[in-house]
Amino acid sequence: MPVDQVQLSKFLSFVLRHKPDEIGLTLGAEGWVNIDELVEKANAAGTTFHRADLLGVVASSDKKRFSLSADGLMIRAAQGHSVAVDLGLPPQEPPSMLYHGTATRFVDAILGEGLKPQARQQVHLSSDEATAQRVGQRHGKPHIFKVDAGGMHAKGLKFYRADNGVWLTDHVPPEFLS
């Protein structure tokens, strides 16, 4: 029976970003886990798939949520962790403008407090408005914030670029939002 790639992607995102212990898995300090161990523990916990299914999800994912190690033996989520990991990404100079999509019901709080990571480790920013729009739609009527990333960077705030192109930062103060 073929594996539902969407469901497998959601499962992998959940386990690799939020609840590895749900299947008895322990992530390495940088979020890596051995693919064969992941497959074995997932199957033992009742989510059945093969290594080839996992590699198919990684290859076909339009969001590029997962990264494979250079030797192809390990996998990790590219970003979005609520569990403590250090992705080992070097700080980078961001584009002058980045974007953040959210639901309109959060706009007032964000304007007052800035963007916070909430349950995640870092704030996620997009390099284009279309991506931010899609993200915002997942939570209700979308609102797109423009982030003065160049101004933040000039003030010494750090940015990191995940393997899938998502920009990460610890916090966006309200004065850098429009």
Which domains does the chain possess?
Answer: 5-77 (1.10.10.970), 97-176 (3.20.170.30)
Burial annotation 152-177 (CB, 10 A radius, 16+ → b, else e): bbeeebebbbbbbebbbbeebeeebb
Distance of CA 53 to the CA centre of its chain: 21
The residue type of 53 is: D
- CB-based contacts of 107: which residues, under 8 Å, 6+ apart? 143
CA angle 45, 78, 69 (to 5 degrees): 80
CA–CA separation, 128 and 146 (whole Å): 10
Q: What is the mean pLDDT of each run of 10 residues along the chain (178 residues)?
A: 88 95 94 97 96 94 88 93 91 97 94 92 94 88 96 98 94 97
pLDDT of residue 61: 80
pLDDT of residue 145: 97
Instruction: Tell me if the pTM is above 0.75.
Output: yes
Q: Are 118 and 156 in contact (CB under 8 A)?
A: no
pLDDT of residue 121: 87
